[in-house]
Chain A
């Protein structure tokens, strides 16, 4: 299996879980030109990110070409140690990835 595009860390403190994620993705806007050929580089960006905790949806984010390359996402929710946190993304070319971790 290829290495996941997602890195995720989740820590609980005082009943609040802080989730930090880093996603490897080019996030091409579709309006940049290749300096050598002069042609447009095709758009390639994440359109939707979702986060679940123990199967319950906690977050949905609609993204576009305005988000930087290799985006970083952090959020908090009321939770506990041992929760399963799953992050998923889909992009405009139909690619996707997801990763699950356990809250520490």
Chain B
């Protein structure tokens, strides 16, 4: 289906007016009175957002149809998609919730229910949830991946997000993509942040301690070597709550170390245990919670090993999980949640905490539907001010999406294929590689693709492209390596991204095998088998090791889209899969399941 611009505007006017103009009569009429009503329970309300990836405005975001769990994780949350997800959580197919949590009938749902997220709408929801809890009874936590993911955040080095989070009233945050700015920028942004930034697992390298440029930063502790404050204590609902930060453990491996040469990370669950014990012993809190960027599988494992944590509020893997998972460990039970991505969800955890113990809880993961929530006027004004200098170039329409363009999923999304095709064409390469990030918003079929959409998929601080020769053997090594980060049976070896996207090449993948044995039958688009010894011209971007020499990937994608006018995917280079038939983490897969 390809719409003319005029038809497009007409349909937008009819179907999505409510989404664009939330105060219109459509929005009022559609609004069920109780969708966001969350009756107060207990005495402590923790609001949790994570991985918004700098999406200040409402967006479309398609949840994955492939989110495989391997080994003991098979069929367990968060590795459920589509109908299996609906069945597990008892969600009615075709409902508003079904659209929020699954990919099912995405295009239809996007028309019916409109956009999701947006800080002005989120602000309204946060204010309402905090008002319901009563003054002094709530905290707003942000799990990080907040300062990166949009053209604006790239231009402003994350400072736009610091301002928006200050306006939103974020109390405590931790980080991951925050660390893809320079050390100086990270420290300056934290200084500008009105809440607290906590991370128990980020240390200053021992040899960097001698000339450490940020020795006067209040979060730095010379004795422990920690670069940031590890935890904070808050009085909430009449009790004392300790909040520990857990930054993304693999930051300097998954992202460039060169921006943050002085800092070293890690899961460090032994330090976590020592810290929990120390806090319990010395501070006598009534509850201990963790704001984590481990990723859900890592959080679940950590919860099984570390004693004394009441709740882990998790992010990183972008899993919208409607229920908290109860994990048993030697000290009792730890609750683990994950709150999705792109500003699409707000977690609301009500805790009944009395006399040094968590007695009971209620949890809801609220989808933020932009047309059910009036924009908060103060936040809307701030966003308008921040975006004003950039609206014109961000809004430029480059091409029309002939089918829905998305990224999220374990293997190639359609937008990834566009990027790979652009890389191949612009660099005259046989094969393209593109990182399997889990952020990146969705452009529904028939919508224009704007400059802003392109940046939503590519906005990083190391966007440079490369064109180089690689042998077939090297290509296989890359695929095997990334695949092991994704499907390793031990969650502590998972880095939480998705599989590297490929263009111009097909392969067969068996996620259930071990490293070195997952990838087979690599071949070029024309069916020629990849020869391990032969060299191939490969284009790509986002190199972690050293800066690549080529232009920024967004320039290449923009040039490609301008040239194409209408974008359709003739061939999706998604692998054939082995060993995953019947796995509830896959549905409606566009290639063969062998």
> Quick one: CB contact mask for A62-101 with B, threshold 8 Å, 1 for yes?
0000000010101000000000000000000000000000
Please tell me if the beta carbons of A9 and B210 are within 8 angstroms of each other in the complex: yes
Please tell me if the beta carbons of B206 and A72 are within 8 angstroms of each other in the complex: yes
Residue numbers in B under 8 Å from A72 (CB-CB): 206-207
Residue numbers in A under 8 Å from B207 (CB-CB): 22, 70, 72
> Quick one: CB contact mask for B203-232 with A, threshold 8 Å, 1 for yes?
000110111000000000011000000000
Please tell me if the beta carbons of A74 and B206 are within 8 angstroms of each other in the complex: yes
Q: Looking at the complex, which one of A11, A22, A74 makes contact with B223 (CB distance below 8 Å)?
A: A11
Please tell me if the beta carbons of A7 and B223 are within 8 angstroms of each other in the complex: no
Please tell me if the beta carbons of A13 and B223 are within 8 angstroms of each other in the complex: yes
Shortest distance from the beta carbon of B205 to any chain A beta carbon, whole Å:
9
A20 within 8 A of B: yes
Please tell me if the beta carbons of B210 and A7 are within 8 angstroms of each other in the complex: yes
Number of A positions contacting B (CB below 8 A): 9
Q: In chain A, residues 5-27, which have Cβ atoms closer than 8 Å to a Cβ of chain B?
A: 7, 9, 11, 13, 20, 22
CA distance A74 to B210 in the complex (A): 12
CA distance A72 to B210 in the complex (A): 11
Total contacts A-B at CB 8 Å: 16
Residue numbers in A under 8 Å from B206 (CB-CB): 20, 72, 74
Q: In chain A, residues 27-84, which have Cβ atoms closer than 8 Å to a Cβ of chain B?
A: 70, 72, 74
Residue numbers in B under 8 Å from A9 (CB-CB): 209-210
Please tell me if the beta carbons of A11 and B210 are within 8 angstroms of each other in the complex: no
Shortest distance from the beta carbon of A25 to any chain B beta carbon, whole Å:
13
CA distance A104 to B222 in the complex (A): 12
CA distance A63 to B571 in the complex (A): 61
Shortest distance from the beta carbon of A103 to any chain B beta carbon, whole Å:
13
Shortest distance from the beta carbon of A17 to any chain B beta carbon, whole Å:
12
> Quick one: CB contact mask for B186-213 with A, threshold 8 Å, 1 for yes?
0000000000000000000011011100
Please tell me if the beta carbons of A20 and B209 are within 8 angstroms of each other in the complex: yes
Residue numbers in A under 8 Å from B222 (CB-CB): 11
Q: In chain B, residues 238-276, which have Cβ atoms closer than 8 Å to a Cβ of chain A?
A: none
CA distance A87 to B313 in the complex (A): 47
The residue in chain A whose Cβ has the minimal distance to the Cβ of B208 is A22
Residue numbers in B under 8 Å from A11 (CB-CB): 222-223
Residue numbers in B under 8 Å from A22 (CB-CB): 207, 210
Residue numbers in B under 8 Å from A7 (CB-CB): 210-211
Q: In chain B, residues 78-126, which have Cβ atoms closer than 8 Å to a Cβ of chain A?
A: none
CA distance A70 to B211 in the complex (A): 14
Residue numbers in A under 8 Å from B211 (CB-CB): 7
Shortest distance from the beta carbon of B370 to any chain A beta carbon, whole Å:
52
Of A11, A72, A74, chain B has the most CB atoms within 10 Å of the CB of: A72
Residue numbers in A under 8 Å from B209 (CB-CB): 9, 20
CA distance A72 to B206 in the complex (A): 8
Shortest distance from the beta carbon of B247 to any chain A beta carbon, whole Å:
24
The residue in chain B whose Cβ has the minimal distance to the Cβ of A21 is B210
Residue numbers in A under 8 Å from B223 (CB-CB): 11, 13
CA distance A72 to B223 in the complex (A): 17
Shortest distance from the beta carbon of B253 to any chain A beta carbon, whole Å:
21
Residue numbers in B under 8 Å from A13 (CB-CB): 223
CA distance A74 to B205 in the complex (A): 13
The residue in chain B whose Cβ has the minimal distance to the Cβ of A8 is B210
CA distance A13 to B224 in the complex (A): 11
Shortest distance from the beta carbon of A14 to any chain B beta carbon, whole Å:
10
In addition to A9-B210, A11-B223, A13-B223, 4 A-B residue pairs with Cβ atoms within 8 Å of each other are A7-B210, A22-B207, A22-B210, A72-B207
A-B contact pairs, 13 of them (CB 8 A): A7-B210, A9-B210, A11-B222, A11-B223, A13-B223, A20-B206, A20-B210, A22-B207, A22-B210, A70-B207, A72-B206, A72-B207, A74-B206
| A residues whose Cβ falls under 8 Å from a Cβ of B | 7, 9, 11, 13, 20, 22, 70, 72, 74
Q: Closest 6 interchain pairs by CB?
A: A7-B210, A72-B207, A22-B210, A22-B207, A72-B206, A13-B223
